[in-house]
Amino acid sequence: CERNAAFTVRQAAMTPIIAIGDVAVEKIADDAFVVRAMVANEGYLPTYGAEMARRIEAAKPVEVAISGAEPIIGKAKQSIGHLQGRSAARGMMFSFGGAKVDNERLLEWLVRGNGEVT
């Protein structure tokens, strides 16, 4: 029972972890703002979990939404596809310039609204 629990905990620690970081807001007019946000998978596994799940489209792509302002450019809700996890860097340790992993996306919206943008 203890070994089974330890395995389950290790497996759970490998799941994708979606994080929103580096949000920047630039005011370009009285009621217009450019909002930029970095979305990343900080987990070990990719957001699709297993290649077969992606192949048969059983895993849904990551969707991101912005609310509280009217989008002028960019959709309020958009699909950004799948994000790799740290597992994609395995075997890339000897590449020049470091391992490049497709685990983040920079999103940008031009929005109209009043008040504080967060």
Q: Per-residue pLDDT tens for 9-46?
A: 888 888 999 999 889 999 999 899 999 999 999 999 99
**H runs (alpha helix) in the chain:** 2-12, 51-55
Distance CA 97, CA 32 (A): 39
pLDDT of residue 22: 86
For the chain, the average pLDDT equals: 87
Structural domain containing residue 29? 16-112
Whether residue 11 lies inside any domain: the answer is no
Residue 60 lies in a domain: yes
Record the tokens describing residue 62, joined without a space: 């990551």
Q: Which of 9-13, 17-21, 47-51, 69-73 has the lowest mean pLDDT?
A: 9-13
Share of the chain above pLDDT 70, in %: 89
Determine, yes or no, domain membership for 31: yes
Position 86 in a domain: yes
In a domain, 70, yes or no: yes
Say if CB 103 and CB 88 are below 8 A apart.
yes
> Does the residue 9 lie in any domain?
no
Number of structural domains, the chain?
Answer: 1
Does residue 35 lie within any of the structural domains?
yes
Closest C-alpha among 67, 49, 69, 68 to residue 59: 49
Residues in the chain: 118
d(CA 81, CA 25) in angstroms, rounded, equals 24
pTM exceeding 0.75: yes
The span from the CA of 64 to the CA of 70, in Å, is 15
- The upper half-sphere exposure of residue 9, i.e. CA atoms within 13 Å in the direction of its Cβ, equals 6
